[in-house]
Copies of this chain bind each other. A is one copy, B any other.
Amino acid sequence: MSELKNDLLLKALKGENVVRPPVWMMRQAGRYLPEYIKLREKYDFFTRIKTPELATEITLQPIQRLGVDAAIIFSDILVIPQAMGLQVLMEEGKGPLLPNVIQSQKNIDALITDNVEEKLNYVFKALSLTKQELNGSVPLIGFAGAPFTILCYMIEGKGSKTWDKAKQFCFTESNLAHQLLQKITDVTIVYLKEQVSAGADVVQVFDSWSGCLSPEDFKIFAQPYLIHIANALKNIAPVILFPKGSWYALKDLSENRVCALGLDWCISSKSARELTGNKITLQGNFDPAKLLLPVNEIKKAVKKMIDEFGVQNYIANLGHGITPDVPVENAKAFVDAVKEYNCEL
């Protein structure tokens, strides 16, 4: 395997000194890019994800276009429910739909937890091919959804503002919920380890909906599974946990030798550094809605963000995925502002 030419991300994750923070963007391979839209017109969602050549091409698009410091494999967190035997429908422009939701012990027993490596082989192939194409230019990030977030979809079958049904299931069928969370965790660990074997240098775990839980319930239904995953990967690859909205968990998670934590924009850098005792690498947290500002204002805001987080132990990113309406030049301004940071000193 070739040495990485740009190892800023890995250095930041190890807590090593860098001249400027690394930068990448959640959903950087996505709908704001015209070259992605073109592929979307030709191939449906699962074709794009399951054809390694297409997934690779999409993964590389923002590297070429924006010059980000990391690639993140083009895939989806719902490949896990699918590999576990649940049907997942994905209609363009609409959210995901899982027609057969989990309701009972029987449903949980019926979930498949073996042969995941084989079923998700297309992801590993895409990672290997991307790794090869990257040729050591930047690190490659693999990812998975966190167990609680995957449970949300498995219980509700589609997106929700409040995830009340998923939470009610956790509260009223706590035994079943933990069985389900454990199964997802076990599969996710195998999945992430295999991603690393296939070429991922780093993995991120997205707990996109954990913010709907109270601090107390996060500790019951989200945190143990996140830590279980982080521990299982500890000697294998750096893990970034992103429990969106769960600011209250930052202290606990930072004390559990987790490698790095992702932040949304609803917490100041000061609070985040305080809660994590300045001892962990933080990633985030530019409000994606600010990418609609004029380019010079984006650059000013990014500079301010780095001033506040500091250059070390920091990965510049958005606080959530980039939205489809962002002009490419604005996305580029975000990346450029980070890359220009040191020059301004």
Contact A289 B248, beta carbon cutoff 8 Å:
no
Contact A171 B289, beta carbon cutoff 8 Å:
yes
Contact B172 A214, beta carbon cutoff 8 Å:
no
A245 at the interface (CB under 8 A from B): yes
A100 at the interface (CB under 8 A from B): no
B-side contacts of A217, CB under 8 Å: 287
A155-181 vs B: 1/0 string, CB under 8 Å?
000010110100110011000000000
A211 at the interface (CB under 8 A from B): yes
A272 to chain B, nearest CB (A): 11
A292 at the interface (CB under 8 A from B): yes
A302-338 vs B: 1/0 string, CB under 8 Å?
0000000000000000011001010000000000000
B-side contacts of A171, CB under 8 Å: 289-290, 292-293
Closest to A212 in B: B266
Contact B168 A267, beta carbon cutoff 8 Å:
no
- Please measure, in the bound complex, the distance between the C-alpha atom of A161 and the C-alpha atom of B245, giving whole angstroms: 13
- Please measure, in the bound complex, the distance between the C-alpha atom of A9 and the C-alpha atom of B224, giving whole angstroms: 39
A192 to chain B, nearest CB (A): 27
B-side contacts of A294, CB under 8 Å: 172
Partner of A161, one of B161, B215, B266, B289: B161
Contact A245 B216, beta carbon cutoff 8 Å:
no
| Number of copies of this protein chain within its complex | 2
A47 at the interface (CB under 8 A from B): no
A268 at the interface (CB under 8 A from B): yes
With A164-B323, A167-B287, A248-B267 already in contact, the answer to whether A293 and B172 are too (CB < 8 A) is: yes
A200 to chain B, nearest CB (A): 28
B-side contacts of A159, CB under 8 Å: 161
A247 at the interface (CB under 8 A from B): yes
- Please measure, in the bound complex, the distance between the C-alpha atom of A319 and the C-alpha atom of B233, giving whole angstroms: 36
B-side contacts of A211, CB under 8 Å: 266
A265 at the interface (CB under 8 A from B): yes
B-side contacts of A115, CB under 8 Å: none
A21 at the interface (CB under 8 A from B): no
B-side contacts of A267, CB under 8 Å: 215, 248
- Please measure, in the bound complex, the distance between the C-alpha atom of A271 and the C-alpha atom of B251, giving whole angstroms: 12
B-side contacts of A325, CB under 8 Å: 164
Instruction: Identify which of A167, A172, A248, A287 gathers the most chain B CB atoms within 10 Å of its CB.
Output: A287
A160 to chain B, nearest CB (A): 9
A278 to chain B, nearest CB (A): 19
Known interface pairs A168-B289, A171-B289, A171-B290; 8 further A-B residue pairs with C-beta atoms within 8 A, sorted by A's residue number: A159-B161, A162-B320, A167-B287, A172-B292, A172-B293, A172-B294, A212-B266, A213-B266
3 smallest beta-carbon distances between A and B, as pairs: A167-B289, A214-B265, A168-B292
21 A-B pairs with CB atoms under 8 Å apart are: A161-B161, A162-B320, A164-B288, A164-B289, A167-B287, A167-B289, A168-B292, A171-B290, A171-B292, A171-B293, A172-B292, A211-B266, A212-B266, A214-B266, A214-B319, A215-B267, A215-B271, A245-B266, A246-B266, A248-B267, A248-B271
